[in-house]
Amino acid sequence: MGAHRLSTAPRYIPRYTLDDYNRWEGDWELIDGVAVSMSPSPFGPHERVVTELSRQIANQIIEKRCQCRAYANLDWIVDNHTVIRPDLMVVCGEQPQRHLQRPPVVMVEVLTDATRERDLTVKRTLCLENDVAHYLILDPSDRSILHVTGNDEAAVDTTQPQTLRLDDQCEIALDCTKLFQ
């Protein structure tokens, strides 16, 4: 038998771009050029938390006449090799006509078994590197919230309201007791 030889053929690892992403069918994210499937859809507890949080934020934005809007499942084009679709974002000032092409003020991810690692690592890093003012990570399994701001992060007391400053004129308070009902 012949000796085992290492292949001299270059390894091919595709690195996709925004142009590639725009041609794909289905639900995907693009993280540093790597395609990440987003299926299957989340389960009931995840969607209940997203819906309740979205309702609270949207109602307070309207009530306080903030120049902000809440978006569920809108793509954020971070750069030519990274496009993510957070569970919820709050955008202040000029509103996107297509996808968001600048950092949101608030980004929210609700953890699932399929997304837990990515939400706690890669997306946290993206928020920190892109100056997202508030990154909220909600975990329906243990009814917890982690609030990441700048270089600080803290577990949220879910028995108390959580205040978020959206811009110089607008502050909202989330009723955390209702998020995991």
Q: What percent of the chain has pLDDT over 70?
A: 93
Q: Where are the beta strands (DSSP E) in 2-129?
A: 28-31, 34-37, 68-71, 76-79, 82-84, 88-92, 106-110
Query: How many domains does the chain contain in total?
Result: 1
Is position 165 within any domain?
Answer: yes
Domain range for residue 152?
Answer: 42-77+85-178
pLDDT > 70? residue 84? yes
Is position 8 within any domain?
Answer: no
Return the residue matching tokens 């307070």: 60
Is position 9 within any domain?
Answer: no
Is position 2 within any domain?
Answer: no
What does the pLDDT look like over 1-24, one tens digit per residue?
555 566 566 667 788 999 999 999
Q: d(Cα 159, Cα 112) in Å, to the nearest integer?
A: 22
The structure's pTM equals: 0.89
CATH value at residue 57: 3.90.1570.10
